[in-house]
Chains A and B, each alone.
Chain A
């Protein structure tokens, strides 16, 4: 038996792919998370109200989603409802994170794959001869920075934000800052659209070159955004069947009846399924489950996507294109929200801590994230983090198997396999820091 190990770069965290080949046949393809973070262990015994400062540290890329989910779970335990203004500030915060994440995944992580470059900086050099594309790297970083600036504005700081607290937010968004942000978005939205177009073209060329978009069988899709309201500060989860019908709709309180969570013996990350069936979360799930994005430019991209590839769309590389739709949406939507008064009005309400069980749901950039806490005598007795990347683990493994079979034959192992492995994993944009318990 031959074992090939592919270390992975341009993803969040430490992971690798290990493929076992026996008699020219692919025997096994594993996606391995290399370390166990252990947050569900450390937080046992921590005073409940303090967990919201600790859990963003699960992941510096996804800290915003963890902070909001954590606060929402405790609000559920304590029976607090934050004022509408706070809900809106949290939405802006989550939109900022979506911009940051999708810009990073599209331009820093996956764009180099489109032209077989090693990094976004090389993309810039390779495309230098074309005037339009010279500033891809610079523009990509500028778009990404809108996301981090929005997080700073709505969250206090762009990594491990602090403004979301139990009962609301510590402060709103001042008019002047909102106006500055709107100006920046107005300048850069056309740049973002152009980048998404370039990305789309590069992807089409890549699809032609390798002769595949990463074909794989249809699966279930999981998202917590609504069909006509792509709100990230979400309340319910929806599941789409492989043939394209929404077949389940449930609250985070009921997740255990729908999602099966297990450990795996080949990775430090867990795996989850819909009653044993493979499912996918992340951009493609949200887009497959959306009728409309609710903003004009994003809707135009959505229409183009559905007309070109149908609905539901299943090929692996579509995840990347869908991230582009979400990026444009998040820019448009945050601009809309910043036009409203997010400064004046009730920002937070008081509360009395109590023991109990609570669930906090948000649509993180990688899919639905649930924090589930049990509080006893004011302390965290149990904490369970239901992580979007974990929903994709079985799908990643199957997609790797499909890719490996494509490039391993009696003639040998194609040198394209290493690149294919990277493309497949990056399409799912896994977050390894989050994915281990």
Chain B
């Protein structure tokens, strides 16, 4: 007990998100021993973030006026802010862009008496507060959480997902069309691009252990761009993917382009590079990225 009082104070602030990051954090139990959890409404009765917090984890995007208030207040009481998950870094998959056909109906139906108003979009948290460490992923794995909490400075992250995938890239297996998800059979041990799947692991930040691609699901890019594409417009990531498909497949360019521009991929890919279009956001250097 005596010892426990000296543990660094640790708080988890959840803005607008799905709680997936918190659920993942709960699976990396080691922090229980290393920190004094002072605020995490999901598991502890707690109504406000106390002063002198050592580490504040923030998950979720900034979606309501109340989110802004809680974020700014929380960060002002904390020494170090870690943004965790795709939503905190980008607003998230729960995003309704200016061009979205359903945007007007959504905005019209998102007001209630006595409740916070929804903002016109979901913002990344570094639009409002200074962020010390970024931990992307939807959600980040428990191991990545532990790295961010205890060893951020020496983190070793695989540059791209392919490096952790273990599926073999074959020279002579060149698909001529996109398989999408409709082949009916996924061959084990062979690169998903060789099988015609739109896998973006070649441009996506590793560290996840290739959790999706190993059992046979294409990478959707939830950890965002690998280091070479940080702070660059979406075009750079997409161009790299185009190059990969030209090199590894005989799929017609129009077909590849149609998929890369589809709303599904853009939900994941654009959101990470989206911030480069917004001058009010700070540059995210690779030193700050887990």
Residues of chain A touching chain B, judged by Cβ–Cβ distance below 8 Å, are 7-14, 18, 32, 34-39, 41-42, 44-47, 49-50, 53-54, 57-61, 63, 104, 108-109, 112, 118-121, 141, 144-145, 148, 156-160, 162-163, 165-168, 170-171, 263, 265-268, 348-353, 422, 433, 437
Contact = CB atoms under 8 A, between A and B. Distances in A.
A166 B183 CA distance: 10
A268 B18 contact: no
B19 A41 contact: no
Contacts of B113: 265-266
- In the A-B complex, list the 4 residue pairs whose CB atoms are closest, starting with the nearest: A60-B20, A350-B184, A50-B264, A170-B216
B82 interface: no
15 contacts: A8-B41, A9-B45, A9-B46, A12-B42, A42-B267, A45-B102, A47-B264, A50-B262, A60-B18, A61-B20, A121-B32, A145-B27, A163-B216, A167-B182, A266-B115
Contact of A162 (B43, B47, B215): B215
Interface in B80-125: 92-96, 100-103, 105-106, 109-110, 112-116, 118
Interface residues of B, number: 66
A165 B217 contact: yes
A160 B19 contact: no
A267 B94 CA distance: 19
B94 A10 contact: no
Contact of A353 (B63, B110, B138, B182): B182
Nearest to B36: A121
B47 A9 contact: yes
Contact of A38 (B22, B110, B114, B182): B110
Q: Which of A7, A53, A144 has the most CB of B within 10 A?
A: A53
A351 B182 contact: yes
Interface of B: 14, 16-24, 26-27, 29, 32, 37, 41-47, 63-64, 66, 92-96, 100-103, 105-106, 109-110, 112-116, 118, 138-139, 141, 180-186, 188, 211-212, 214-217, 220, 262-264, 267
Nearest to B85: A60
Nearest to A144: B26
Contacts of B112: 265-268
Contacts, number: 195
A437 B262 CA distance: 23
Which secondary structure characterizes the binding site on chain A?
A: loop
Contacts of A58: 18
A49 B181 contact: yes
Contacts of B19: 12-13, 59-61, 433
A419 to B, nearest CB: 10
Contacts of A148: 27
A32 B114 contact: yes
Nearest to B41: A9
Contacts of B100: 41-42, 44-45
Nearest to B183: A350
B96 A156 contact: no
Contacts of B64: 34-35
